[in-house]
Structure formats: C-alpha cells, structure tokens
Chain A
Amino acid sequence: LSFFCLGPGAGQDVGRSCILVSIAGKNVMLDCGMHMGYNDDRRFPDFSYITQNGRLTDFLDCVIISHFHLDHCGALPYFSEMVGYDGPIYMTHPTKAICPILLEDYRKITVDKKGETNFFTSQMIKDCMKKVVAVHLHQTVQVDEELEIKAYYAGHVLGAAMFQIKVGCESVVYTGDYNMTPDRHLGAAWIDKCRPDLLISESTYATTIRDSKRCRERDFLKKVHETVERGGKVLIPVFALGRAQELCILLETFWERMNLKAPIYFSTGLTEKANHYYKLFITWTNQKIRKTFVQRNMFEFKHIKAFDRAFADNPGPMVVFATPGMLHAGQSLQIFRKWAGNEKNMVIMPGYCVQGTVGHKILSGQRKLEMEGRQILEVKMQVEYMSFSAHADAKGIMQLIRQAEPRNVLLVHGEAKKMEFLKQKIEQEFHVSCYMPANGETTTIFTNPSIPVDISLGLLKRETAIGLLPDVKKPKLMHGTLIMKDNSFRLVSPEQALKELGLAEHQLRFTCRVHIQDPRKEHETVLRVYNHLKGVLKDYSVQHLPDGSITVESILIQATAHSEDQGTKVLLVSWTYQDEELGSYLTALLKKGLPQSTS
C-alpha cells in the first residue's frame, strides 16, 4: 500500500488536497484540489509526479472527490480536460450537483474579472462533470472486478463523504474533511468497524482544543446585535453553500427569540439555489432538520429575505450575507466598498481567507486598501473574524480511529515536527503505526493480506470432535494438508490428500532407550515406573498391561534388563509421530529418574 501527496514542492502544507494511493496494484486519486492563494500554475497540483510518460487514464483506476470545497475539487476540470483523464470520477450526489456551480463561479471571477487565460472553460467544467458517477451513502460501487468503493457520512458540509477503497481484503479509508460533532444543520461523521489497513485522516485541527461552539456563537450574536442596535450595518461574506446555512439558522433563531426588527438579507440567486439543494438533499442534513422539515422548512426563513443591490444604500441597520467569502470580487466586495467608510458598520469574516484577497488583507490589519483604478479605500468599519468551520480535533480523530479500527493511521495536513505527541498517543492507545508524511514523500505500508481457504467438511467434523470444547474467543490449532491447485486453496485431512494424490501413507514410529539404575527385578521396576507415571500424569490414561508393559495414551513403555549390567534397567519408550510431544515429555521425565520411595 503506498501513499503520496501531490504538492507544488517542499514547504507547502495547507491549501489543497490531492492524494495518490496505490493498493494491490490499483491506483486511486483522492481529491483534486486547487490552491486559492496562487494566481499562476502553482495553484494546480503537479500531475507529472504521477506518471512521467504514461497516460493518466491508463494509470489511474478512478478519481474520488470527497466534497465541493475548492481546495478539494478546484483542479478537477483542469486535470480531466486540460491534462487529460477519461476514467471514472466518483463523488456523492450533492457534491456532483454543487461542484459545477462553485467551479463556474470561481472560473467567472478568475477569467472574467482578472483576465486569466490558462484556466478551464465553462465547457470544460461540463465535460468534466459528464465523467462523474454519483454514489449514495453506504452503497458499494464496483469500479472494476477487483476494486470497490463505499461512501460514508462525513458531516463538515453538505454532501461531504469519507471513502473506503477496497481491493480483495486490503482497504484504505480516506476521510477528506470531516467533523465528529453535529452542528445546526449537519450531523456528525460516522463509519462502521470496517478495520481498514490504512486510515488517512486530515489533521489540520489535531493540536487544537477548540473553544465551545456556544461561546463562539454567543460572541458572534453579541457583536451583530451591538452593531445593529447602534444603527450600523453588518456584512458577512460567505460562500454560497456551507457555513452560510449554519449562520442563517443561528441568526434566524436569535432574531425570533429577541424579537428583532432589523432586516437580514441573503444574496439573490444563491438563496434559491442553496435552499433548493438543501431541500433536494434533505437526507444529508441532520436529524433535527429532517424532523422539523415536516412542519416547516428550516431553510425557509421568516426574517431573512432576498437581497437587492439597491438595498445596500438603504439607511438604518441591516445584516447582509453576500458572496464570495473572501471579499475578493463580486457582490460582497461591492457592498464592502460602500460600507467600509462608516465606523458604525462591521464586517465579520466567517472563515479562512487566502493570501492576496481583500479579506486576508483586512484581517491582517490593513486599513488602507488599493482598489482598481488606484483608488484608495479607507476602512473605518469594524473588522471581526469568527471561524465556524467544522473540522475534527484531536478528540475527534481518536473517536474516528476507535470507530473504524484501522491497522495503520496516516495524518495529512499537519506539521510533522509538532505532531510527535499525537503520533505517540495514537500508537499507544490503539497499538497501530502512525505516519505523517510530508508533501512529495511516498509512504509505503505493508499489509498482511488474508487468503481465504476452503476446508473440507470431513476435516472440520474431525477437528471439532477431538479435544476440549471449542472456545469462540480462543484460536484453535488444527492440523490439515493445504492443497494449492490452479488458483484455489483447499484444506483437507491428510488421508484425503494422500488418496487424492495417490500416495501411500507411512507411519513414523520413534523408540528411545532410557537407562535407569535399579537392581531389582524387571517387573518391580515396571511397577515403580507405572506408579510414578500414574502419579504425575493424572490427566492421561496410564495402564499396566498383563504382558508387563505400560501404556500412556498410545505410547508404549517396556522394561528390560541391561545385557551387561543387572543393576541397570533399560526402558524402551515408543511413540508415533503424532504423539511426538507427549513422547518427548515422557522420555525427559523418565531420564530424571524414579522417586526413591519403595513401591
């Protein structure tokens, strides 16, 4: 099993996901993300790492996309249409529905607004999506005769999934981004005890102890409330789908409880689309939403209305959710420019902002921004940041490992030097190996494949008949003959094997001589030996036969006088190959001599 994470080179960690896994001769690409911080070729992974000369379609058996975030699917059209890949691409239904929308949005901004040329086109996005095969949760999909995949619920965003990739008895589970605690609109990730050979988990938040959601929300609502109370406007730049829904539900509930009157707006176009998709994929939301959906649609908000560009100039307080999320272009940037000059207003960034965007600049403290046409914008409005992203922390990672019971764990997106403690923790608690490769580093994991073997009924019956009662928890040792013919393996009894092969059975018998010092007559020595063995071997059948010999189970002991020395008796101990263990034990026991007591 080998793992390889594609990056643009050393020193790059967070920003994009693109992983290559080789399992039992199959090659799978996991995610195909784009790095939003770069405006040149560095934003796409370097696919030449995969194969220098071969065609990607021949080399890769399939591509799997975990969810619609651009750092996981942003490079897909580039990869499939511009680099060239015609094989299957797997993702969940919501991901398939939402991906093209985000890709198109991003394409529009990059090409139309920024004038980029080396970027995929709308047609390329469409052609790429034609290669996508959508999968359901817990549905086993046969990619070919040997490779199968299965999606599990991951939480995080709508449609996000963890994937199990199985070839024969070897399997890998890739988590993508996941979350082990449910939130207002999504449930928590879950996987069964699938015992993969390798679990690949993201670890961006592995070393953090997160502030409770309630405190985060409390502070967020406090800020929004304070701003609105003093007549200011709150701008919340969001991506169309994702945390926006979470915040909408939060604000709606708060407005309802506090009986607030200030209007809340959500960007036009995106409201309908988002609600449409959440309704369509209602099974992907959490239990509570599904339950209340019968009475009322949780995404049909009473207090949140569609936004019109003209509203931005309205006097008075308001809250607006506008896209895109990093204030890099579009409506949110327009609104920002209008409101930036008033200190009563506030902008709350609800997520990570990539370097180079206006969002990133203002979060870093910049208050004078250069806009197009060399205009300087002075930012007097309050700038706040609230991260509501849903990722697993150390506790969550441990929980997932406990659920899946992998044999090995691999962590991506962490800083290896600073993760030694977590590595030890995982290794100590679960007794598995934990790997933390750097970008561009190949990790090889050795697996113990189990080989299925057919056992003959006769052998099974025989083995269960002898010996002690079978204990379901303890492994039982059995003897048989393994016949490997063509591609089949059979376990049969030795007799049957000999018969099939037309061989005659041979019996092996061992005889050992033990010298004992005993001047008495032979039959007295025999009696002494008999009493001694009867005393020691209480669990065995020890018999004194009329002809003067002793049997211990099937082992025969006879005594004769030594030909030259009457004081020495020679004990002949004879056993078959099957009784080797007992025979050796008896011989060693007798060699120690007999106890002194008179018989």
Chain B
Amino acid sequence: YEDLHTFELQAPTRVIEWARGNRVCVAGYGQSGGNEILQLLPPPTLQAKETQGLCPERDFKVECGGFSNRPVYSLKYVPDTSLLVTSGPPDSSLQVWQVSAEDSDVIKSVSAIPAEDGTGQPWARIATVSTRAPWVLHGSRLNNVQITEVESRKNVYMAASRNSEELSGLAFLDCNTLLLCCAKGQLCLADIRQPQRPLEAVSVPSAPCGERWCMGVGRGPQGSDSSSRPVACLSSGGHLTLTDIRKTSESMASAKCRVPSPSSGAEFLCISWAPALEGCLAISGFDGTVHVYDARSWDSSDREAEPIFVHKGHAFGRLGSSGSPPLVTTHAWHPQKPRTVLSAASDGSLHVWDWVQSCGKC
C-alpha cells in the first residue's frame, strides 16, 4: 500500500457517492428503519493531489446527516442542485432529500417520486447526469424505465417496452442516450429523443444463464462522444466482458476472474472504471476483497485475468451475526487521485487505500 486509512461507520453502507466539493455520501441499509444518510467531508489527505503521510487531520467529518426509515440501496446526487435522491425496498419509488450544509447540518426529506407499480417490486436503480435540467433516470424493470424532473416530479420520458426484465443498472451515456443493463446481462440502448422506439437488446452475454450481471460505464477519452465510453460487465460467476457500444455484435474483450462464488447472491456486485487511470477497473462483492485489473491487456480469449492489486483489508473485519466474514458492499474511485479507492463492507468498515505503483505500468 502507498496509503491506507481504515474507518468504522456506525452502520454499514452499500453506497459511496462523491458530491461537489469532494464530499462523500454514505447511507445505512438496515431493514428496521433508523438509517442514517451521512454526507462526509474527507480529511485533507484525501483532498490534496499529493498524498501526505502524517497530517493534522486524518478523520472524516460528518458534515450533515439525515434519517431514512427505508433502507438505502442506491443514492445519487442531482448535479447543480442541493438535492439528492435515494431508493430502496419495499418498492421502486424514489425519495428526494435536501442538503443545505450552510444553514444546518440536517438532510431533510422533501418529497417522493412514487412508484406506479406498487409494493413488492424490486428497488429502483438511479442515474443522474450533469448536462441537463435536474433529471433523474430511474427504473427497476425494463418496462418502468423513466426520467423524472426532480423538483416538479413531472415525467419527461418513458421507455417503450413491455418487457418486465429486471434491471441491475442504468446510466446516461450522454444527455440523450441511455444504457440499461438487465440482471440477466442484456444491454439495451435508448435514445430519449425517440421514446416511441421500443427498446432492444444490443448485447447479450455468451456466458451461461443463471448468473446475474452488473455494469460499469467509464468516462472515455476527453471530449469524445458517448459511443467511445467503455462499458464493462461483471457476472456473479466471475465473467468480465468489455463491450464497445459501436460494435455491439461482438464483445470487445473478456476475461475471467478468480473469485469464490458469492455467498449472498449477487446483491453487492460492483464494477467501476478508474476515472484517472486509463484502462483500469475494480470489482467487488464476492467476498471481503476488492480486485483491480488492467483491462488493456485483455483479449477475446476469455482467459483468467490476474489482478494488479487486491485489497484484502475488509476480510479481517468483524464477523457477521451468522459467523460469516464481512462482504464488501460497494467501492468507489477517487475522482482525481489515480490509484485511490474507497471501499465499504458489511461490518461497517470504510477503507481508503492507495497502492504502490509498480514500475512502468498504471
């Protein structure tokens, strides 16, 4: 490690979201209510570009907090507003919150975007984009993918699909193009300027069925258009595929990672591209580790890939109530520092780590 900080949250989180001003937001997912949404101010060590070892302040400060009765499974800030949106069981509705750190340190619940399909539906995945009016893209199945204007709660777009395939993720590729990832692995593209056109899968996984998939969309080279953003998909069986949106008929590259079969299903599977480190991505959710891979060396032979770094810190945490070791619930890259990653686990731990650059490579 170049650097390692370990923190303990009062309750475990399965979201880590970066906000304006390098704030980090985490939230609890307990089923019995009393969950806290915390906006944290990271210590100065994480603000500066260069890593300092000893520093006056090494602690996170709770800048503001709110209380949620529901478990928070997903959280996204709405860019250019002081709002954030959360979702979680027991339905696919969204909760809207106001963060006003200057006046008080309480995150207030302001409204909700209801779910039309009633309770019992899977929780909604959320995505926001910073080039538009305060919109939020959300949905739990292909047939309820929609964009809602957060403040007015007006529906702006509804995807044309009767398919009730469950979603595992969605993202704005640019302000007009959406990419949806189904739990079974299909990727669908949609253009919000053409809401009538039915959604169609542009990519179907070749790996065996029965696995659950999730996706991560990278930033792509500076100033390029949406189609050159790299898309990576991860399956619960450890398959990794890279897809080129332009040539979706063939997968660009694929690899297999050596991971144990996830014990709790694919609930916490997470894959993300490094924003400041070309070609690198991280995966987690199989156990108490986070793997970092350099995907530039991958080809289509589906070989087993070697991670360039494995963070094992969470595996040594507190055992769960059933005696099971902690599971990494989510991870997030630092937006500026190339090799800094934040990861959280089911025992409430929050780690910030940075690995030593091996000579030459990334």
Using CB atoms and an 8 Å cutoff, list the residues of chain A in contact with chain B: 205, 207-212, 214-216, 218-220, 222-223, 348, 363, 384-387, 394-395, 398, 417-421, 424-425, 428-429
Contacts and interface: CB of A to CB of B under 8 A. Distances in A.
Contacts of A214: 6
B56 A385 contact: yes
Interface residues of B, number: 30
B285 to A, nearest CB: 23
A417 B64 CA distance: 11
Given A212-B7, A363-B56, 18 more contacts: A208-B60, A208-B61, A210-B59, A214-B6, A215-B6, A215-B58, A218-B4, A220-B54, A348-B54, A417-B104, A417-B105, A418-B63, A419-B105, A421-B62, A421-B64, A421-B65, A421-B106, A425-B65
A207 B40 CA distance: 10
Contacts of B62: 207-209, 394, 421
Contacts of A215: 4-6, 58
Contacts of B56: 363, 385, 387
Interface of B: 4-10, 34, 36, 40, 43, 53-56, 58-67, 104-107, 350
Given A222-B53, A223-B53, A424-B67, A212 B8 contact: yes
Contacts of A395: 8, 10
Contacts of B61: 207-209
B44 to A, nearest CB: 11
B105 A429 contact: no
Contact of B6 (A212, A363, A418): A212
A212 B58 CA distance: 9
Contact of A209 (B40, B55, B66, B67): B40
Contacts of A418: 63, 105
Nearest to A226: B53
Contacts of B67: 424-425, 428
From B40, B54, B63, name the one whose CB has the most chain A CB atoms within 10 angstroms. Answer: B54
Contact of B59 (A208, A220, A419, A420): A208
B55 A424 contact: no
Given A208-B61, A421-B62, A384 B105 contact: no
A216 B5 CA distance: 8
Contact of A421 (B5, B8, B43, B105): B105
Given A211-B59, A215-B6, A420 B53 contact: no
Nearest to B9: A209
From B9, B106, B350, name the one whose CB has the most chain A CB atoms within 10 angstroms. Answer: B106
Contacts of A398: 10
A385 B55 contact: yes
From B40, B43, B58, B65, name the one whose CB has the most chain A CB atoms within 10 angstroms. Answer: B58
18 contacts: A207-B61, A207-B105, A208-B61, A209-B350, A211-B7, A212-B6, A218-B4, A219-B54, A348-B54, A395-B8, A395-B10, A417-B104, A418-B105, A419-B105, A420-B105, A424-B67, A424-B106, A428-B67
From B6, B9, B40, B43, name the one whose CB has the most chain A CB atoms within 10 angstroms. Answer: B6
Given A348-B54, A424-B106, A209 B4 contact: no
